[in-house]
Amino acid sequence: MPTPAEARSLLLELLTDFEQTSLLWQLGVIAAGMGLAWWASRLVRQRLEPGAVAGGVARLIFPLIALCGVLLGKALLQHSMHPSLLNLAVPLLLSLALIRISGYILRYVFAPNGWLQTSERLVTWVVLVGLALHITGFLPDILHLLDELGFNLGRQRISLLLVIQGLLSIAVTLLLALWLGSLLETRIMRAEGLDPSMRVLATKFVRAGLLVLGVLIALPAAGIDVTVLSVFGGALGVGLGFGLQKIASNYVSGFIILLDKSIHLGDIITADNRYGKVTSLTARYTVLKGLDGTEAIIPNETLITSSVVNHSYSDRKIRVKIPVQVSYASPLETAMHIMLEAGEKHPRVIADPPPQVLLNEFGDNGINLELAVWITDPEEGMSTLRSDINLRIWREFQQHGIEIPYPQRDIRIVGQPAQT
């Protein structure tokens, strides 16, 4: 007499029908479904551009099309025969589809690293263990055992099965929310009609809203009362009031920066004694890439509470000053003409506004001149520009006999010591 678990075993059902002719029909349905899935995946690879996207979509389509074909064949054959082989093929194909879908979503949401590979292996093992328990018929008994291990907390019964279901529901919904958020973020960032800051702000709101919505959907799906979140909300409020003030301030400051459009992606700013290009605007910090390649992570609160020099806020034109001193004996007009030509002939210097040479003052050792030029690419830095122009001025000064003075001091001896 078989046990209840054995009566539900798909393997026993298959062995019972193994010698019947209906098995050939089921094998034909499976072969047809697999052939249709292979043709569909190959068609996708040919239609899409070669690469990771085409390969990932083809890997997803294969088990899904095969599963649909097997389900359709099962629906047609179950009235005339017992589809034991199809009953076994359905969970196998469903498990393969779950593994490939989860792997695709994980690779789309997270960057490739060791943690990602560990997560993929964990998902694969969980699905395979669940499949093995379902095929052998032990899954209902194990679920019943997990449900028995629990306790009552007020009106809510907390069991090990409920905790596992809650964790799985939250993990699945959050993963789907992150995947959908990444997909929408890619679409929003490609919208050239929107301001770059508004794109970043929209992606932050979408991602945060999807995460909150995912949690609100996952908890009731797992049988957890959503009203218990009020307790955690109060605790979170106390935590923000005491230990997380800076973190909360940075997040609020990040949204303020995005809303008032004071800083955009690609702006050249000076903040916290650092000069560089804004390469990333996140909810908590701003990444500032310096001219030497280093990247400074500046908290958003610093950009709100301190002065920030935005060199490209309304206009990317920047005035660069290059001081030069010539001796009193040098021809002043010639020196000024050489400096003006050196600025005009540099490829980074623009013609409007035009370069200008100013006589600032008559110094102790010479005449102080200043060359002022305008550029539109401050992200390239000013050190190279000054070096190129100074080197050209120096060569022209040598050819025209213009002297750059150095400090001189005259010493006069007032009295001589008495000679003995």
Residue 264, domain CATH: 2.30.30.60
Residues 132 and 160 in one domain: no
Structure token pair of residue 316: 């990317």
Question: Which residue has better confidence, 40 or 345?
Answer: 345
Q: Is residue 342 part of a domain?
A: yes
Residues 331 and 392 in one domain: yes
pLDDT of residue 30: 73
pLDDT of residue 100: 77
**Which of 205, 239, 273 finishes a domain?**
239
What is the C-alpha radius of gyration for the chain, rounded to an integer number of angstroms?
37
Average confidence score pLDDT of the chain: 76
Q: Element (H or E) spanning 141, and its range? A: helix 139-148
Residues 177 and 301 in one domain: no
Residue with tokens 């702006």, as numbered in its chain: 267
Contacts of 215 (CB under 8 A, 6+ apart): 170, 173, 174
Residues 125 and 141 in one domain: yes
Q: Which domain CATH number covers 367?
A: 3.30.70.100
pLDDT of residue 372: 93
The answer, yes or no, to whether the previous bond of 63 is cis (omega within 30 of 0) is: no
| Three-state secondary structure string covering 62-102 | HHHHHHHHHHHHHHHHCCCCCCHHHHHHHHHHHHHHHHHHH
pLDDT of residue 103: 75
**Amino acid (1-letter code) at residue 190:** R
pLDDT of residue 5: 47
pLDDT band at 390 (very low <50, low <70, confident <90, very high): very high
pLDDT band at 3 (very low <50, low <70, confident <90, very high): very low
Regarding pTM above 0.85, the answer is: no
Max avg pLDDT among 79-83, 167-171, 285-289? 285-289
pLDDT digits (tens, 9 = 90+) for 28-56: 777 877 777 778 777 766 666 555 455 55
Q: How far is CA 91 from CA 54, 73, 84, 88, in A?
A: 26, 15, 12, 6
Mean pLDDT confidence for 144-169: 71
pLDDT of residue 418: 58
pLDDT digits (tens, 9 = 90+) for 400-417: 889 988 876 767 777 666
pLDDT of residue 335: 92
pLDDT digits (tens, 9 = 90+) for 60-70: 777 777 777 77
